Amino acid sequence: MITDVASYMNSVDSAAEYIKGFLPTAKEVPSVCIVLGSGLAPLASECEDCISIPYADIPGFPVSTVPGHEGRLLIGTLEGKRVFMMSGRFHYYEGYDTSVCTLYVRVMSKLGVKLLFLTNAAGGLLDEMKPSDLMVIEDHFSFFCDSPLRGPNLDEFGVRFPDQSFIYDKECVKLLLETSRELGITLHKGIYSYSKGPQYESPAEIRALKMLGVGAVGMSTVPEAIVAAHCGMKVAAVSCISNLAAGISKTALTHEEVMENANKSSRSNCDLVKNFIKKWSV
């Protein structure tokens, strides 16, 4: 929870000012920020005219601690569009407060970003899902998420009691589904439920979530989507189903299985994101 507003805003402002230094003209400021979850790392190498800034160099930014979530901000061009790419994100299970996990979202908002494109690895609950499938998120459960908006409201970003009816932009969901059909990629549509982690869910928890209509479970995305919506940004989000959720899967879950399946879906995941970006306009 934010206790010291001045110090938090100082971090947001110094990070934004530092990044602006790499964007000499207004036309170079991207309107989209893509967060590269597990399996999407190869997209970083497709970023053209790329500037790569380690998180550790950005004043006010936390530093990622998870192997495979290498921390750097990329600024460049993807499919002809200017983009920010976050290679590595911050998770509550690493010990960060949700207000810290989402600080970068507010920095992106300050820089003028209009769309936050979140990707993640998640456990799948839908009967028709197979490992390495993809799911576009159309809504979420934040029941188990410490609200990143708890504490004094940052009025310059948004209102105290923000509506949650339209977090995941409907046009983006439609465009992602259309794009997946054109590419021949299976894209499920569903609700993502947040888990604090780092432990995976128990089979009983998964049975309960399945009854509530949940399509996928994961340990990121929801705090970021809440903050982006609070800032008035649009949100699009895609989960890579890196495993069937606990109890649905016949075997014990491991991080290795998650990474392996996320990597298997990498090609289709990157193609989907790239082709979406090509078509998307502000």
Shorter beta-carbon distance to ligand HPA: residue 19 or 136:
136
Which of 242, 263, 265, 275 is close enough to bind ligand HPA by CB under 6 A?
242
Exposure string (b/e) for 38-52, b if CB count within 10 Å is 16 or more? Answer: bbbbebbeebeeeee
Among 69, 140, 188, 230, the active-site one is: 69
Specify burial of residue 56 (Cβ count, 10 A radius: 0-12, 13-18, 19+).
Answer: exposed
Number of other residues whose CB lies within 10 A of the CB of residue 211: 8
Phi/psi at 23 (nearest 5 deg)?
-125, 75
From the list 116-124, 163-171, 229-237, 274-282, the region that binds ligand HPA by CB under 6 A is 116-124
Among 15, 85, 122, 219, the active-site one is: 219
Among 55, 94, 122, 275, the active-site one is: 94
Structure tokens at 161: 């009691």
Helix (H) / strand (E) containing 271: helix 266-279
Which of 125, 217, 235, 270 is close enough to bind ligand HPA by CB under 6 A?
217
Among 220, 242, 261, 268, the active-site one is: 220
- By CB under 6 A, residue 119 contacts ligand HPA: no
Q: How far is the CB of 245 from ligand HPA (least distance, A)?
A: 5
Listed residue (223, 162, 178) closest to 196, CA to CA:
223
- By CB under 6 A, residue 265 contacts ligand HPA: no
Cα torsion at 43, 114, 92, 101 (round to 10°)?
100
Q: In the annotation, is 188 catalytic?
A: no
At a CB cut-off of 8 Å and minimum separation 6, what does 178 contact? none
Q: In the annotation, is 87 catalytic?
A: no
Among 91, 140, 188, 230, the active-site one is: 91
Exposure string (b/e) for 241-273, b if CB count within 10 Å is 16 or more? Answer: bbbbbbbbbeeebebebbbebbbebbebbbbbb
- By CB under 6 A, residue 200 contacts ligand HPA: yes
Which of 123, 158, 215, 223 is close enough to bind ligand HPA by CB under 6 A?
123
Q: In the annotation, is 92 catalytic?
A: no
Q: In the annotation, is 230 catalytic?
A: no
User: Residue 238 pairs with which residues in a beta bridge?
Assistant: 119, 136
- By CB under 6 A, residue 121 contacts ligand HPA: yes
- By CB under 6 A, residue 118 contacts ligand HPA: no
Q: In the annotation, is 55 catalytic?
A: no
Q: How far is the CB of 227 from ligand HPA (least distance, A)?
A: 20
Residues in touch with ligand HPA (CB under 6 A)? 121-123, 195, 200-201, 217-219, 242-243, 245, 253, 258
